[in-house]
Amino acid sequence: MFIQTFTVAAALGIAGLTATHLGDPTRVGGPKDDPMTLTTAPVSQQTLERGKEMFNVSCVPCHGADGTGNGPIAANLRMKPRDFTRGIYLNRSTASGELPTDYDMYHTITTGLHDTPMPSFRQMRPEDRWAIVQYIKTFSPRFTDSTEYPLDVVNVGIEILSSPQSLARGRTLYLQMQCANCHGVNGEGNGPAAGTLTDDFRNQILPTNLTNPSDYKFARSVVDVFRIFSTGLNGTPMPSFAQSLSDTDRWHLANYVWALQSTDQYMDNQTENTTK
Ligand code: HEC
Ligand code: HEC
């Protein structure tokens, strides 16, 4: 609905910014300003104004004009829209606790968060999505705090391909690292701690059912899963394992978790219940 509203606005010819003004939105931070190395990337007033305009049309109903997540329809949603004033983001390529890169935010806006009310804005012009990223950053003082930079972008290294050995090692690690405590022995999201978890905004949060592909908010590949183990999901109880597990073990674990979606081979004998 909001996307359509936007399309109409665009058709009416509101401020036509071109990609040239805004840099290449597919690159982190654009051509000249790389937020991984700079304190803050310089952003033109024009970009911020465009971002605000687009935000007001497409995001305010949920996230609110002040970015606190209290928009007019927020109360009707089953999940609270993110409060942008705290600068806490799940979907990142950066180390645990750090800010996301501009591209991480751009990516979230493009894909949306699956199985949440947060929609995809793929149809919005790339330069508008890019401008919104810059505008959202103004809600939190963290983005202009020089002590937050440079961001430490997690390197996914060399992928270890799945094999019976890798899956078996992954299963061992899954039990050892107490993933089961939250996600359940079979990954179904029903561990003993599952009903007790809250996020940093004091909202209840459920561990993902790892066997159900549509329960994943953003992991779309085994590489994404590896990345999540390395970055953690800021603001949620889902920790980073970058310190406690080697790269190799995180790959084995990622292979195991990814396989949970398609095979019941490595689940304990409860599989009968689900396949009947
Ligand atoms: C229909 C309601 C709705 C609309 C419209 C909406 N959002 Fe969201 N958004 C949400 C909800 C709910 C969440 C929290 C999801 C969660 O915590 O898993 C969220 C989360 C986010 C996040 C946080 C992602 C992360 O990594 O933690 C970003 C960024 C975001 N929205 C940006 C936007 C932008 C930009 C727009 C407008 C272009 C927008 N949203 C429009 C509901 C909405
Ligand atoms: C303290 C509880 C807790 C522990 C321990 C935990 N998780 Fe999670 N995990 C969560 C929660 C809560 C979420 C959902 C976050 C959200 O929806 O925003 C999650 C999300 C995930 C996701 C889904 C990301 C997506 O795309 O939505 C994966 C994969 C995952 N966890 C795997 C694991 C593995 C493997 C382990 C053990 C190495 C583990 N988790 C340990 C609580 C936990």
Q: What is the pLDDT along the chain (276 residues), one digit of tens a residue?
A: 444 333 333 333 333 333 323 333 333 333 334 444 334 557 899 999 999 999 999 999 999 999 999 999 999 999 999 999 999 999 999 999 999 999 999 999 999 999 899 999 999 999 999 999 999 999 999 999 999 999 999 988 899 999 999 999 999 999 999 999 999 999 999 999 999 999 988 888 999 999 998 899 989 899 999 999 999 999 999 999 999 999 999 999 999 999 998 645 444 444 443 433
Residues 6+ positions from 269 with CB-CB distance below 8 Å = none
Calpha distance 235→242 (Å, rounded): 17
Ligand nearest to the CA of 89: 1
Q: Which CATH code, of 3.40.50.1240, 3.30.300.210, 1.10.760.10, 3.10.20.30, is assigned to 164-264?
A: 1.10.760.10
Mutate to test the pocket of ligand 1, among 50, 118, 238 (most ligand atoms within 8 A of CB): 118
205 lines ligand 1 (CB under 6 A): no
Which tokens sit at 116?
A: 């949440």
Q: Looking at the chain, list the stretches that DSSP marks H as alpha helix, in order from N- to C-terminal side.
A: 2-11, 19-22, 45-58, 60-63, 102-111, 126-137, 164-176, 179-183, 222-231, 247-260, 271-275
Calpha distance 89→103 (Å, rounded): 13
Sequential DSSP letters for 251-271 = HHHHHHHHHHTT--TTS-TTH
CATH superfamily to which 2-148 belongs: Cytochrome c-like domain (1.10.760.10)
Q: Does the N-terminal peptide bond of residue 150 adopt cis geometry, omega within 30 degrees of 0?
A: yes
Position in ligand 2 atom list of the atom nearest CA 256: 35
Ligand nearest to the CA of 199: 2
Calpha distance 209→215 (Å, rounded): 6
CA dihedral 59, 64, 65, 68 (to 10 degrees): -120
Determine the distance separating the centroid of ligand 2 and the alpha carbon of 175, expressed in angstroms: 14
Mutate to test the pocket of ligand 2, among 182, 197, 228, 250 (most ligand atoms within 8 A of CB): 182
Would you kindly state where each structural domain of the chain is located, as residue ranges? 2-148, 164-264
